[in-house]
């Protein structure tokens, strides 16, 4: 009995422990079930209530347009930077001011006259005058001897006889030979002196600055008068006010345009309005300008530096199935939307998109017209 009693006690104890283990196991597995359920709630986050979504709109047929805003600025096409070609010469006078109109060849800035150059110029002119005077005297002497020889020939015999004519021709040739080299030397001396004078004048002119074109003084360096010249440093810039265009900041934008395509330039401010223009890329590809067209192109008056904006249409799909662009999401190579069902929950849905416009995105497959999609505004 005691043995059986002991066994019963052990059996009872085992039953209690087993029951406790089961209860514990149930609790553990119950806990795991709750965790799993919470994990499912995270996974089912896509099924949030419609009231938590920013907005819902239907997939529908509409136009999809993709555009690009291009900024441009109105400025001149032709400018001329002018500088001195002599170092450390003193600038004497500036004859123009910024904003003034100038003509081609007009003297703009001069340097102080070099007294040595003036003295050299005076000396050359004196030499030329002196040589010319000597030449005139020699020519006069030559003419006198020719006249005297002709007179003597006539007085000393029959001027019509062959012997007399031969004698006269011989005498005249002697006179010609006598003065030829002397007169030729004078001519050469005068030519050399004039070349020196021209070279001196040319060098003197080159050191001053003249307008190389008709235009307006766009820039004038301050404090020029009395300062010294620096070779190559721009002291004045001219621009052509009759050759003005809108220029884009990025010439690569030309790849989005077709030859002869007309664009609209919007300008705000006091000179606001819309202007039609045709793009033109420079030969070297470094600038893209827009040439105004239309009836007012020749009379338009726009201030230099005025900003404009051009809206380029990069793509268009008319009347295609599309959704708001804000409804489309991406994860790597996957494109998807959240479709809102009749119960007000949104569900993940992969789609294939076409043209991505400014406001709407074309849907190739994955949705049908009328499907409601969640939009994150």
Structure confidence by residue, pLDDT tens digits, 323-338? 999 999 999 999 999 9
Provide the mean pLDDT of the chain.
82
pLDDT of 298 reads 64
Mean pLDDT of the 216-232 span: 93
pLDDT tens per residue across span 106-119: 999 998 876 567 78
Q: Look at residue 206 and tell me whether its pLDDT is greater than 80.
A: no
pLDDT tens-place string over residues 270-293: 777 888 999 998 888 888 999 888
Average pLDDT for 209-223: 92
Judge whether residue 37 has pLDDT over 50.
no
Rounded mean pLDDT, 210-217? 92
Q: What is the pLDDT of residues 137-183, one digit of tens each?
A: 999 999 999 999 888 888 887 777 888 888 888 999 999 988 998 99
3-state secondary structure string, the chain? CHHHHHHHHHHHHHHHHHHHHHHHHHHHHHHHHHHHHHHHHHHHHHHCEHHHCCCEEECEEEEEEEEEEEEEEEEECCEEEEEECCCCCEEEEECCCCCCEECCCCEEEEECCCHHHHHHHHHHHHHHHHHHHHHHHHHHHHHHHHHHHHHHHHHCCCCCCHHHHHHHHHHHHHHHHHHHHHHHHHHHHHHHHHHHHHHHHHHHHHCCEECCCCEEEEEECCCCCCCECCECCEEEEEECCCCEEEEECCHHHHHHCCCCCCEEEEECCCCCEEEEEEEEECCCCCCEEEEECCCCCCCCCCCCCCEEEEEEEEEEEEEEEEEEHHHCEEECCEEEEEEECCCCEEEEEECEEEEECCCEEEEEECCCCCCEEECCC
């Amino acid at each position: 009995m005691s043995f059986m009693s002991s066994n019963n006690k052990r059996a009872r104890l085992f039953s209690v422990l087993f029951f406790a283990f089961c209860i514990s196991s149930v609790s553990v597995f119950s806990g795991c079930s709750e965790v799993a359920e919470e994990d499912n709630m995270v996974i089912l986050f896509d099924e949030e209530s419609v009231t938590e979504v920013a907005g819902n709109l239907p997939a529908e047929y509409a136009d999809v347009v993709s555009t690009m805003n291009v900024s441009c600025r109105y400025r001149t096409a032709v400018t001329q930077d002018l500088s001195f070609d002599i170092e450390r010469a003193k600038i004497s006078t500036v004859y123009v001011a910024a904003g003034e109109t100038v003509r081609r060849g007009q003297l703009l800035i001069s340097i102080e006259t070099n007294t040595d150059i003036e003295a050299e110029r005076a000396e050359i002119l004196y030499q030329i005058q002196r040589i010319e005077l000597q030449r005139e005297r020699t020519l006069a002497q030559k003419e006198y001897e020719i006249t005297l020889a002709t007179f003597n020939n006539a007085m000393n015999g029959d001027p019509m006889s062959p012997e007399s004519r031969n004698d006269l021709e011989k005498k005249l040739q002697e006179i010609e030979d006598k003065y030829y080299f002397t007169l030729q030397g004078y001519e050469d001396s005068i030519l050399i002196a004039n070349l020196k004078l021209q070279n001196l004048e040319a060098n003197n002119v080159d050191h001053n600055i003249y307008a190389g074109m008709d235009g307006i003084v766009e820039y004038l360096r301050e404090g020029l008068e009395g300062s010294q010249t620096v070779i190559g440093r721009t002291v004045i810039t001219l621009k052509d006010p009759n050759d003005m265009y809108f220029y884009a900041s990025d010439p690569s934008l030309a790849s989005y345009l077709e030859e002869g395509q007309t664009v609209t330039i919007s300008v705000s401010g006091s000179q606001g309005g819309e202007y039609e223009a045709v793009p033109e890329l420079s030969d070297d590809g470094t600038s893209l300008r827009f040439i105004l067209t239309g009836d007012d192109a020749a009379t338009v008056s726009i201030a230099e530096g005025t900003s404009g904006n051009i809206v380029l249409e990069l793509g268009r799909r008319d009347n295609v199935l599309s959704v708001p662009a804000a409804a489309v999401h991406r994860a790597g190579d996957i494109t998807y939307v959240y479709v809102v069902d009749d119960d007000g929950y949104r569900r993940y849905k992969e789609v294939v998109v076409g043209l991505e416009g400014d406001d709407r995105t074309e849907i190739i497959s994955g949705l049908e017209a009328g499907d409601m999609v969640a939009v994150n505004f």
